Amino acid sequence: MELLLALVAGVLYATGLYLMLRRRLAQLIIGLSLLSNGSNILILSAAGVTRARPPLITEGVPLESFADPVPQSLILTAIVIGFGVLAFSLVLAHRVQQSAGSDDIDAIGPDSARVSSDTPDRP
């Protein structure tokens, strides 16, 4: 099980990083979400996988045989944060697409921008 999870995490990291190196914003966002899922699986497998033993401690049973609840709560937190960040970057990408008419990094780059970067902030 650990081996399988490790492989899955590795594949997710690799594909995520590969996609982040592409030029399209959509691919960058998909890469980011794969990367965050990869790190969630990594947390799960690094902390040790315990099968079918929920962390409900009963008396008289050694503590070692229960799953550790901390990595699960870490993953939950990370999923929530990752979801918020993903939603934000989707909106941002949508706005970039609207203003530039393309989601190619080169098309929206500062060199192609006809608008001055120094537009002042009006009072």
Residues in contact with other proteins by the rule CB under 8 A: 16, 20, 25, 28, 32, 35-36, 38-39, 42-43, 45-48, 68, 70-71, 74, 77-78, 81, 84-85, 88-89, 92-93, 95-96, 99-100, 108-110, 113-123
Least separation in angstroms between CB 52 and other proteins: 20
Nearest distance, CB of residue 59 and other proteins, angstroms? 20
DSSP structure class, residue 63: G
Backbone angles phi, psi at 96, to 5 degrees: -60, -45
Min. distance of Cβ 53 from other proteins in angstroms?
17
Cβ neighbours of residue 71 under 8 Å, at least 6 residues apart? 43, 44, 46, 47
Using alpha carbons, select from 77, 57, 75 the residue that is nearest to residue 67. 57
